[in-house]
Amino acid sequence: MPDSSLSTPEQIYQLKITLVGSKPPIWRRVEVSANATLASLHRIIQVAMGWYDYHLHQFTVDGVIYGIPHPEYEVHNERLVPLHQVITGPNMKFSYEYDFGDNWEHTILVEKVLPPAEGVVYPRCVTGKRACPPEDCGGIYGYTDFLEAINNPDHPAHDEMLEWSGGSFDPEAFDCAHVNEVLQRLA
């Protein structure tokens, strides 16, 4: 059970969300209210990482699975669980999986528990590195193949992959200001 001195609804969690297996690492640092639900955190991650919420997802916290309830699976309802009920304090880790086909696994590290800053609207993205892989590119290994194809004009799939990705893709690009514009609409 979380220590109430570390986890109260009035507090803010600074979370580092890292895409497992990405080299160099793809990550985001977000700040979110302890009162936000896991369902809200799902939407925040979708925006911060650059996903489009086309696929199923789940959180695993201390061996318990949270997501959209299904009668055939033991999944706790993420809409009913505020973060302060599952986060035990700084240095805690839990996982978020998006798209069970591509299997995008994320590690979420609780870096800090902070008081809310005056005048700040939460959630917010503080920083991050690198572009999110395109949806449906085949997971982390498919993403590696995708990057190889678009970066080599002689690759047999070069033109096809560039067209599929909209004509260009910069794996180093990350626009924190744009993420925050979208997050403000969630607030």
Do 155 and 89 sit in the same domain of this protein? no
Do 64 and 28 sit in the same domain of this protein? yes
Span 82-97, pLDDT tens digits: 999 999 999 999 999 9
pLDDT for residue 1: 44
Average pLDDT of the residues in 108-133: 97
Average pLDDT of the residues in 116-123: 95
Span 18-43, pLDDT tens digits: 999 999 999 999 999 999 999 999 99
- Burial letters 59-80, b for 16+ CB under 10 A, else e: bebeeeebbeeeeeeebbebee
Span 151-181, pLDDT tens digits: 999 999 999 999 999 999 999 999 999 999 9
- Burial letters 21-52, b for 16+ CB under 10 A, else e: ebeeebbbbbbbbbebbbbbbbbbbbbbbbbe
**What is the separation of C-alpha 60 from the centre of its chain, rounded to a whole number of angstroms?**
13
Whether 105 maps to a domain, the answer reads yes
Judged against a pLDDT cut of 70, whether residue 5 lies above it is answered with no
Do 91 and 179 sit in the same domain of this protein? yes
Whether 7 maps to a domain, the answer reads no
Number of domains comprising the chain: 2
Domain of residue 57, residue span? 12-131+172-186
Whether 151 maps to a domain, the answer reads yes
Do 68 and 151 sit in the same domain of this protein? no
Do 34 and 124 sit in the same domain of this protein? yes
Do 86 and 137 sit in the same domain of this protein? no
pLDDT for residue 70: 86
pLDDT for residue 4: 42
Do 77 and 162 sit in the same domain of this protein? no
Whether 51 maps to a domain, the answer reads yes
Do 45 and 112 sit in the same domain of this protein? yes
pTM over 0.95: no
Whether 6 maps to a domain, the answer reads no
Whether 179 maps to a domain, the answer reads yes
Report the half-sphere exposure of 57 (CA within 13 A, side-chain side).
23
Do 49 and 120 sit in the same domain of this protein? yes
pLDDT bucket at 186, cuts 50 / 70 / 90: confident
The number of residues making up the chain comes to: 187
pLDDT bucket at 3, cuts 50 / 70 / 90: very low
Do 77 and 166 sit in the same domain of this protein? no
Do 161 and 114 sit in the same domain of this protein? no
